[in-house]
A and B are shown apart, each in its own frame.
Chain A
Amino acid sequence: MEGLAGSAAFTPAWHLRAASCAVKWLDGHPGLKSFLPFVPIILLWAAIAHSGIFPRVFFPGPWDVIASFANLIYKGILPDYLEDSIVRLVLGAGVGTLTGIPLGLLIGLSPLGQRFLWPLIVFFQAVGDIAWLPILLIWFGFGLTTMTFVIVYTVLFPVVLNTVLGVRSIRLEFVRAAQSLGAGRLRILHEVIVPGALPNIITGLRNGLGWGWRALIASEMIVGTSGVGFMMFDARRAGQVTEVLLGMILLGLLWYVVDGWILVPLEQATIQRWGVVARTD
């Protein structure tokens, strides 16, 4: 389609053919497809920085960022901060998932559980993780407990919501089939409900990690003493734009890679093997 009207003078659209060839070729090389689009952006960035429209202090170029990256790696600061951030995320996400899945199953399967827990979940999700920081600081001060709480809190909601959706989207027939084959309630839970909800649970995990990542950065900025978020905030205080940009790029890159290359394939694998089920974001 590509917006062509009926102009007869329009030659067989060679550039359109070239474009769709390009897209098809890109489709065949997923690695390139993910990263190639960034090349023009980087070039554009370099051009703007070099042109001096903005003072170098405010708008460093790609080479500045790379230099800073190398410097921080050399000093050992960056690997340490990265490690700190990742450890916190994994810890928080782990606790959040282990709590969230049973909670989601409970809400999905028990009408009483749903009546009581669902409104609470909705409300506390609305309050949001960041709003908890002040009270957490009073209770636990600056430190790992506070940050872990925030991450667990954030991860919890997508996991619970998606688990509930997963349970609800299991076709009644599967449960009935299992019942008519002699399965008791516990058996049904473990043979039908959990596998049936699994694709949604993985989606929940994926979203949860995304949210958790953001929560981590936010809490590191506000209350952290180490980690990538802290680095960005601290650099801002010192006026070091380069490090701020570096932090942003690292964040985006890390998430992009983890999500696109680990989580999405995992999600797709279960869905492909088992067939399509209901999705949510």
Chain B
Amino acid sequence: MGPNAVTRGRASTLRPRVVDAAWFLAPFLVLVVVWAVVVRAFHVPLRLFPSVGDVLQAGLQEIQRGTLLDHIAQSLTRVAVGAILAIVASIPLGIAMSTNRLVAALLTPILRFFAVLAGIAWIPIATLWFGYGFGAITFVIFNAVFFVVTYNTILGVASIPQAVRNAAASLGATPRQILVEVLLPGALPNIVTGIRTGMGYAWRGLIAAEMIATNAGLGYMLFMARDFYRTEVIILGMILIGVIWLAMDRLILAPVERRTIERWGLARRMGT
């Protein structure tokens, strides 16, 4: 055993991580360089595609004006509110539904039906019922998350082996205790996966909804920019949309999912 083996400790995990991050960013650097060169070399007009500088400038401008942060805040707020409402509603509902096999058999096809419909298809109805603005968009996001999470909750409970439930019952647990001590933790990996999937739907639905149903937010900013052929704002918006979702998904959602799955072992996924 080499002398270094014991002393490396924490530093030994940091360096590979930094290296990994660098490798991850490398293709983007290449892309940006190609972008800058192509726009320059072919004299691409602003109307067609912005240069790197244009985009950066637009970003600074919008930040200074305060509009950019405002749009981002609006989008994030809507997603958060809609998602939280949906999660709070769907988990209990899913668990309640899945304690009865007949109810599960009845409701699962319906949930599957609505899960596909989630998000975008709700926009027209949402604007009719709630008018334009916050209400409609939150409704769209709610639906995007609600059906998927409920479906996955039911799936999660169903994937708990009967033997485990029997064990709990034979140890004297009341139905309520079984719910809290067995069903909820047992279904958690699937629930978390459902939340992550639902958030993906929600983010995408959000952008689409903001394009047609409101006057603030990233989707709106994008769509408005089109009217004025401001490609630099459009590209700025697209990059932001990608980066924000990546940040949310990889830095928050994925670790939570991984940790629940790792702690509790095997997780079966939606569609199995």
State the main secondary structure of chain B at its contact with A: helix
Contacts A3-B175, A218-B208 given; indicate if A248 touches B105 (C-beta within 8 A): no
Contacts A213-B116, A236-B128 given; indicate if A33 touches B28 (C-beta within 8 A): no
> Quick check: is A119 within 8 A (CB to CB) of the other chain?
yes
Tell me the bound Cα distance from A29 to B222 in angstroms.
49
Whether the pair B116, A210 counts as a contact (CB closer than 8 A) is yes
Determine the chain B residues whose CB is within 8 A of the CB of A33 once the complex forms.
Answer: 105, 109
**Option from B27, B110, B122, B193 in Cβ contact (under 8 Å) with A41:** B110
Tell me the bound Cα distance from A123 to B249 in angstroms.
11
Separation in Å of the A256 CB from the closest CB of chain B?
Answer: 5
Please, which residue of chain A has its CB at the minimum distance from the CB of B31? A120
- Segment at the B interface, from A73-81, A127-135, A185-193: A127-135
Separation in Å of the A263 CB from the closest CB of chain B?
Answer: 11
Separation in Å of the A28 CB from the closest CB of chain B?
Answer: 12
Tell me the bound Cα distance from A67 to B125 in angstroms.
19
Tell me the bound Cα distance from A138 to B223 in angstroms.
11
Whether the pair A130, B197 counts as a contact (CB closer than 8 A) is no
**Option from A58, A120, A127, A256 in Cβ contact (under 8 Å) with B128:** A58
Separation in Å of the A136 CB from the closest CB of chain B?
Answer: 9
Whether the pair B241, A252 counts as a contact (CB closer than 8 A) is no
Contacts A2-B99, A37-B110, A115-B23 given; indicate if A279 touches B269 (C-beta within 8 A): yes
Name the interface size band of chain A.
35 or more
State the main secondary structure of chain A at its contact with B: helix
Whether the pair A255, B269 counts as a contact (CB closer than 8 A) is no
Tell me the bound Cα distance from A260 to B234 in angstroms.
38
**Option from B197, B208, B225 in Cβ contact (under 8 Å) with A222:** B208
8 A Cβ contacts from B214-246 to A: 219, 222-223, 225-226, 229, 231, 234-235, 237-239, 241-243, 245-246
> Quick check: is B25 within 8 A (CB to CB) of the other chain?
yes
**Option from A1, A127, A235, A247 in Cβ contact (under 8 Å) with B169:** A1
Tell me the bound Cα distance from A218 to B234 in angstroms.
19
Whether the pair B121, A128 counts as a contact (CB closer than 8 A) is no
> Quick check: is A72 within 8 A (CB to CB) of the other chain?
no
8 A Cβ contacts from B90-147 to A: 99-102, 105-110, 112-114, 116-117, 119-125, 127-129
> Quick check: is A241 within 8 A (CB to CB) of the other chain?
yes
> Quick check: is B39 within 8 A (CB to CB) of the other chain?
no
Contacts A23-B102, A221-B212, A255-B116 given; indicate if A128 touches B107 (C-beta within 8 A): no
Whether the pair A129, B27 counts as a contact (CB closer than 8 A) is no
Indicate with 1 or 0, residue by residue over B181-213, a CB within 8 angstroms of chain A CB atoms: 000000000000100010000011001100110
Contacts A244-B124, A281-B193 given; indicate if A252 touches B113 (C-beta within 8 A): yes
8 A Cβ contacts from A111-132 to B: 115-117, 119-120, 122-124, 126-132
Contacts A133-B211, A137-B226, A138-B47 given; indicate if A256 touches B203 (C-beta within 8 A): no
Tell me the bound Cα distance from A239 to B175 in angstroms.
48
**Option from A117, A129, A244, A252 in Cβ contact (under 8 Å) with B116:** A252
Indicate with 1 or 0, residue by residue over A22-66, a CB within 8 angstroms of chain B CB atoms: 110010000001111110110000000000000000100000000
Separation in Å of the B147 CB from the closest CB of chain A?
Answer: 11
> Quick check: is A139 within 8 A (CB to CB) of the other chain?
yes
**Option from B28, B112, B174 in Cβ contact (under 8 Å) with A5:** B174
Whether the pair A126, B219 counts as a contact (CB closer than 8 A) is no
> Quick check: is A232 within 8 A (CB to CB) of the other chain?
yes
Indicate with 1 or 0, residue by residue over B48-61, a CB within 8 angstroms of chain A CB atoms: 10000000000000
**Option from B31, B101, B124, B238 in Cβ contact (under 8 Å) with A23:** B101
- Residues of A bordering B, CB below 8 Å: 1-5, 19-20, 22-23, 26, 33-38, 40-41, 58, 115-117, 119-120, 122-124, 126-135, 137-139, 203, 207, 210, 213-214, 217-218, 221-222, 229, 232-233, 235-236, 239, 241, 244-245, 247-248, 251-253, 255-256, 259-260, 279-281
Sample (5) of A-B pairs whose CB atoms are under 8 Å apart: A131-B222, A135-B234, A221-B208, A236-B128, A251-B121
Given contacts A127-B241, A281-B197, 5 further A-B contacts (CB under 8 A): A126-B242, A134-B237, A221-B208, A236-B128, A256-B113
